[in-house]
Amino acid sequence: MGTVEIIGFDISNWVRAARIFCEEKGVDYTLTTNGMNEFADMKGETHLQLHPFGRIPAIRHGDVVLFETLAIGHYIDRMFDGPRLVPEDPLEAVRMEQWVSALLDYGSRSIMGRCVVQYVLPQFTGKPIDRATIDAAIPDIRAHLAVFDRALDGRTFLHGNRPRLDDMILMPMVDALVTVAPEGPELVAEAPNVAGLRAAFQGRPSYHATIPQMFRKAA
Ligand SMILES: N[C@@H](CCC(=O)N[C@@H](CS)C(=O)NCC(=O)O)C(=O)O
């Protein structure tokens, strides 16, 4: 069916999730920036033709262009053979959508927007780290990780012993938090089931194949 082109920068947790979908499904893909050199290029005409909101990731597969990570996940799952990335059980499938929605709205804002991004962006802009924003985010991150910790309820992944789309979206956020934020390791250790999910991914090739370059340098 041809190779899937994932367009974006590897530092993005959403791009990493899209790559993990392909890795876990066994789908051939390439990661490109489609000519973008810096984050500002996401708002340029060329990229806006792929992603009208000027964000990443987008994918191109033959004539198909898609954006939004969840839609990309469903596309990878439905269009290719391989392990199911959506639970077979209808209620579990709906719960998966619930967790993805929560990650998009809440987890992404607390963990990524108000914490990880606040550490990463100054490395590119040279501006000082916004301590007040990060400090205010910590209680919310703790609360949000606790929700996922309870949801995991001693299981390896949110729906049992195989990762699904929501696990694959959660893990890159947790990994970025641990790797980038000095507070990250302690916050995640307080949520042992979430720490266990990350550890379980670390035993899978999809984790190692998708580590952002910046994280490799930090290790
Ligand atoms: N809802 C989008 C979120 C994508 C997103 O926010 N990506 C970030 C990179 S991690 C981005 O493009 N940020 C650029 C911006 O906010 O202008 C999805 O699910 O794909």
Do 146 and 106 share a structural domain? yes
CATH number of the domain enclosing 141: 1.20.1050.10
Do 214 and 114 share a structural domain? yes
The overall average pLDDT reported for the chain is 97
By most ligand atoms within 8 Å of CB, the mutation choice from 56, 112, 117, 175 for ligand 1 is 56
Do 71 and 148 share a structural domain? no
Q: Is the shortest distance between the CB of 99 and ligand 1 below 6 Å?
A: no
Do 163 and 97 share a structural domain? yes
Whether 208 is covered by a domain: the verdict is yes
User: From CA 177, how far away is CA 196, in angstroms rounded?
Assistant: 15
Tally of structural domains, the chain: 2
Whether 38 is covered by a domain: the verdict is yes
pLDDT band at 219 (very low <50, low <70, confident <90, very high): low
Q: Which domain holds residue 151?
A: 90-218
User: From CA 199, how far away is CA 9, in angstroms rounded?
Assistant: 24
Q: Is the shortest distance between the CB of 56 and ligand 1 below 6 Å?
A: yes
Q: HSE on the CB side for 178, CA within 13 Å?
A: 20
pLDDT at 162: 97
* pLDDT single digits (tens) 19-48: 999 999 999 999 999 999 999 999 999 999
By most ligand atoms within 8 Å of CB, the mutation choice from 11, 14, 15, 124 for ligand 1 is 14
Greatest distance between any 2 Cα atoms in the chain = 49
Domain boundary among 79, 111, 145: 79
Do 189 and 134 share a structural domain? yes
Phi, psi of 58 (to 5 degrees): -125, 160
Q: How many CB atoms lie within 10 A of CB 84?
A: 13
pLDDT at 217: 75
* pLDDT single digits (tens) 40-72: 999 999 999 999 999 999 999 999 999 999 999
Alpha-carbon separation of residue 115 from 60, 196, 217 (angstroms): 31, 22, 20
Helix, strand, coil share of the chain (percent; to 5): 60, 10, 30
Q: Is the shortest distance between the CB of 68 and ligand 1 below 6 Å?
A: yes
Which atom of ligand 1 is nearest to 9's Cα?
9
CATH number of the domain enclosing 35: 3.40.30.10
* pLDDT single digits (tens) 154-179: 899 999 999 999 999 999 999 999 99
Residue type, 96: M
Do 187 and 124 share a structural domain? yes
Do 97 and 68 share a structural domain? no
By most ligand atoms within 8 Å of CB, the mutation choice from 34, 43, 55, 74 for ligand 1 is 55
User: From CA 43, how far away is CA 45, in angstroms rounded?
Assistant: 7
Q: What pTM, to 2 d.p., does this model score?
A: 0.97
Q: Is the distance from CB of 57 to CB of 12 less than 8 angstroms?
A: yes
Copy the structure tokens of residue 21.
């979908």
Do 131 and 57 share a structural domain? no
User: From CA 3, how far away is CA 18, in angstroms rounded?
Assistant: 14
